[in-house]
Amino acid sequence: MRMAFLSIHSSPLGKAGGKNTGGMSTYLRGLSEALGAAGYKVDLFTRAVGTGDEGISQLSENVRLIAPDDGNGPLAKGDIYPYCPEFAAAVDQFRLRDRSRYDIIFSHYWLSGCVGRVLEAKWQVPHLIMFHTLGRAKNEACSGENEPYLRIAEEEKLARSCSLVVAAAQQEKDKILAYFKLSPEKVAVIPCGVDRNLFRPRGRQRAKEQLGLAGRSVIFAVGRIEPVKGFDLLIEAAGLLPEEEDFRVIIAGGGDQSRPCIAALKKTAATLGIAGRVDFRGIIEHRDLPLYYSAADVTVIPSHYESFGLVALESIACGTPAVGAPVGILPELINRSGGRYGYLVYDRDPVSWAAKIREVLLYPEPISKSGIDKLLAPYNWADAASSLTGLVVKLKP
């Protein structure tokens, strides 16, 4: 079986926490590698940046990353939509030159779905789509977001016309069913996995020493620096922690495009008198994230909305509890753990968040390897790959 994965606006090799990268990139890499290891062939298509050359690289066994050049040069995410048919044509031209035949199309994000819709009609194969985030959900969850009507309308069309919608969490499936009036059979849940070889405890004190944080309580957060991630709430909560407690808030993510948001967050920290305790570390390489999770006493996920919430899995895999909003996978994960691996905070009052963060800092509860193994057992890429191939077999005529 050969699969065409589409990730048009964002390369799966992008660094987590960047403008257009995050959990989607991790999902694409993890799932495709597991499929390749199981003997399936996966071609991941993303846009070339206008070099005039078609980029092809081998990511892992049976997995290629392909960047056909559609001739339009570099485009911002917001400018890609009109050129989706042209990119679809570039993908099809590659298929003809490569003499490949694909059994399914799996589109990631709505822009990729618009390309996949064109190819579905041409290739006559099932088209699966995973939105990763929903425009309507972002707008409803956070007043600082302003996803355009075009995206919201296209997501509804794609959900109704594709062969199957894939969600990463039951909460996301529920939103899709409610928004698009689909039958439950039209939406499947395939959770993210977590690489347990990479994300594992590294020893808290040693990790703190390596990062220059020895002797301090460490509050960690990671993600794109944008309103929906709720980092303002984290800083407001940190401002309520006792002055005599030596803590540092480490926020990973962002880049040049995040400067206005970061400037606003720094201003909030300064107003609260904790500017020297909040450290923006920028984008951290995926391979280095376990060191930060291991150094942290708590990982905070104050998002208004998450379609999954991979940060919670990664944190717990490294032995660090999470305090988070009831978004994405977090309610299932925290409730299944009986509260041993973190807390949910159901309101957005900084006082509530400060109380839960301080509770974890003052009364840490050791997380055992056996407990982590049991809790995270359902979240592995081999099972995700098996679930996907099972769905494909049912869809094929």
Distance between terminal CA atoms of the chain?
14
In this structure, the answer to whether residues 166 and 240 fall within a common structural domain is no
In this structure, the answer to whether residues 389 and 255 fall within a common structural domain is no
In this structure, the answer to whether residues 134 and 216 fall within a common structural domain is no
| Whether 341 contacts 316, CB under 8 Å | yes
| Whether 166 contacts 129, CB under 8 Å | yes
CATH of the domain at 391: 3.40.50.2000
Range of the domain at 325: 204-376
How many Cβ atoms from other residues are within 10 Å of residue 147's Cβ?
18
Residue 244: per-residue pLDDT:
87
In this structure, the answer to whether residues 129 and 213 fall within a common structural domain is no
Answer whether residue 360 is part of any domain. Answer: yes
Strands (E), the chain: 2-6, 41-45, 55-60, 63-67, 104-108, 127-130, 164-167, 187-189, 217-222, 247-252, 278-282, 298-301, 322-324, 342-344
In this structure, the answer to whether residues 187 and 305 fall within a common structural domain is no
Token duo for residue 16: 């987590």
Answer whether residue 198 is part of any domain. Answer: no
Up-side HSE of residue 130: CA atoms within 13 Å toward CB?
Answer: 25
167 strand-pairing partners: 189
In this structure, the answer to whether residues 6 and 50 fall within a common structural domain is yes
Tens-of-pLDDT digits for all 397 residues of the chain? 999 999 999 888 765 544 555 678 889 999 999 999 999 999 999 986 644 446 889 999 999 999 998 888 888 888 999 999 999 999 999 999 999 999 999 999 999 999 999 999 999 999 999 999 999 999 999 988 899 999 999 999 999 999 999 999 999 999 999 999 999 999 999 999 999 999 999 999 999 999 999 999 999 999 989 999 999 999 999 999 998 899 999 999 986 667 889 999 999 999 999 999 999 999 898 899 999 999 999 999 999 999 999 999 999 999 999 999 999 999 999 988 887 888 999 999 999 999 999 999 998 888 888 999 999 999 999 999 999 999 998 887 6
Residue 262: per-residue pLDDT:
92
Give the 3-state secondary structure of residue 306.
Answer: coil
In this structure, the answer to whether residues 50 and 80 fall within a common structural domain is yes
Q: What is the β-pairing status of strands 55-60 and 63-67?
A: antiparallel
In this structure, the answer to whether residues 100 and 153 fall within a common structural domain is yes
Answer whether residue 199 is part of any domain. Answer: no
- CA 118 to each of CA 48, 108, 155, 186: distance values in angstroms, whole numbers, following the listed order: 19, 14, 15, 20
Answer whether residue 234 is part of any domain. Answer: yes
How many Cβ atoms from other residues are within 10 Å of residue 263's Cβ?
10
Nearest CA to 282 among 198, 224, 213? Answer: 224
Answer whether residue 42 is part of any domain. Answer: yes
In this structure, the answer to whether residues 148 and 208 fall within a common structural domain is no
pTM: predicted TM-score of the whole model, two decimal places: 0.92
Domains held by the chain: number: 2
Enumerate residues 6+ apart whose C-beta is below 8 A from 369: 201
Answer whether residue 104 is part of any domain. Answer: yes
In this structure, the answer to whether residues 87 and 160 fall within a common structural domain is yes
Element (DSSP H or E) covering residue 369: helix 369-376
In this structure, the answer to whether residues 248 and 316 fall within a common structural domain is yes
| Whether 2 contacts 101, CB under 8 Å | yes
Token duo for residue 199: 């994300």
Nearest CA to 323 among 367, 355, 349, 295? Answer: 355
In this structure, the answer to whether residues 172 and 47 fall within a common structural domain is yes
Residue 52: per-residue pLDDT:
45
Residue 368: per-residue pLDDT:
87
Enumerate residues 6+ apart whose C-beta is below 8 A from 256: none
